[in-house]
Amino acid sequence: MSDTTAAVLSRFSLAGRKALVTGASRGIGRALATGLASAGAAVAVSGRDEAALEGVIARIIGAGGRAVAVPFDVSSVEQIRAGVAQAAEKLGGLDILVNNAGMEQVCPSLDVDEDLWDRIQDTNLKGAFFCAQAAARIMSDTGGGAIINLCSLTSEVGVPTAAAYGASKSGLLGLTRTLATEWAGRGIRVNGIGPGYFRTDMTEVFFEDEAWARRMQASIPAGRFGEVDDLIGAAVFLASPAAAYVTGTLLYVDGGYMASI
């Protein structure tokens, strides 16, 4: 390997960085946590399923990485503040936050009640903001860091039966841009990742409709649905020094779907 190649690749390394990933017990969050660890970061995994978090930790440690569990509920501001502080204490700092925790419940808009609306907003939007706020207070005192928000196609595209979810993800994109401009002077970069159609526990309800799945797959230029590991490269890039001048952007990982509509 040439010195030039090594220098370029080193820009993508997360060695010595400390990361917190919310909603890391399964699906996309688990993939991102293991991916950041593979790139060299020490990772705190958060979620409400403590047994599942232990499984993620075992996977990371088994591959030679470092990981700790910090269970908390992102719909509780009190738990967020304690959990983020605990993650930083266990890791010896905090350089990266991945706001992945989220929920969705398919429901016709005329049937959405206040409880459903509040549960989705509290998790997807309010929780992401207060996690970012708690992390930024730490990062501001230690030279900065990177915050990555898991947005959605619904951040910019309307999807029937997803009014509450789409509102939360549109709000998350706006939040991403606002925090990026406000915190750039603190050395904190804030970006979003917009996954396309991925088959996860949360999205399984859509894939149960085989006719919908066939139509949707045909509309994706890449010709397939996403695999959770397809998101790792985007997260590593946005968290790394390679993205030192990238902030306030939304990176779609969607097989070309958004470009084609």
Please check the confidence at residue 65 and state whether its pLDDT lies above 80: yes
Q: Quote the pLDDT of residue 24.
A: 97
Mean pLDDT on 2-28 = 92
Q: Quote the pLDDT of residue 3.
A: 75
Answer whether residue 223 is part of any domain. Answer: yes
CATH of residue 200's domain is: 3.40.50.720
Answer whether residue 1 is part of any domain. Answer: no
Q: Quote the pLDDT of residue 1.
A: 67
Answer whether residue 89 is part of any domain. Answer: yes
Q: Quote the pLDDT of residue 205.
A: 80
Q: Quote the pLDDT of residue 172.
A: 98
Q: Is 165 a catalytic residue?
A: yes
Answer with the residue of higher pLDDT: 133 or 204. 133
For 147-165, the pLDDT digits (tens) are 999 999 999 999 999 999 9
Q: How far apart are CA 102 and CA 247, in angstroms?
A: 22
Answer whether residue 4 is part of any domain. Answer: no
Answer whether residue 18 is part of any domain. Answer: yes
Of the chain, the percentage scoring pLDDT greater than 70 comes to: 100
Mean pLDDT on 143-149 = 98
Answer with the residue of higher pLDDT: 7 or 1. 7
Of the chain, the percentage scoring pLDDT greater than 90 comes to: 90
Q: How far apart are CA 23 and CA 29, in angstroms?
A: 5
Answer whether residue 2 is part of any domain. Answer: no
Query: What number of helices (H) and strands (E) belong to the chain?
Result: 11, 7
Q: Structural domain tally of the chain?
A: 1
Answer with the residue of higher pLDDT: 204 or 182. 182
Mean pLDDT rounded to a whole number for the chain: 96
Mean pLDDT on 107-135 = 98
Answer whether residue 22 is part of any domain. Answer: yes
Under 8 Å CB-to-CB from 112, ≥6 apart: which residues? Answer: 163, 164
For 186-220, the pLDDT digits (tens) are 999 999 999 999 988 888 888 888 998 999 999 99
Answer whether residue 3 is part of any domain. Answer: no
Least confident piece of the model among 77-81, 95-99, 178-182, 214-218:
214-218
Q: Please give the residue range of the domain that contains residue 69.
A: 9-260
Q: Quote the pLDDT of residue 190.
A: 99
Please check the confidence at residue 4 and state whether its pLDDT lies above 80: no
Select which of 165, 197, 252, 257 is catalytic: 165
What are the b/e assignments for 91-108, b being 16+ CB within 10 Å?
A: bebbbbbbbbbbbbeebe
Q: 173: helix, coil or strand?
A: helix
For the chain, report the end-to-end CA distance as a whole number of angstroms: 41
Retrieve residue 120's tokens.
């989705």
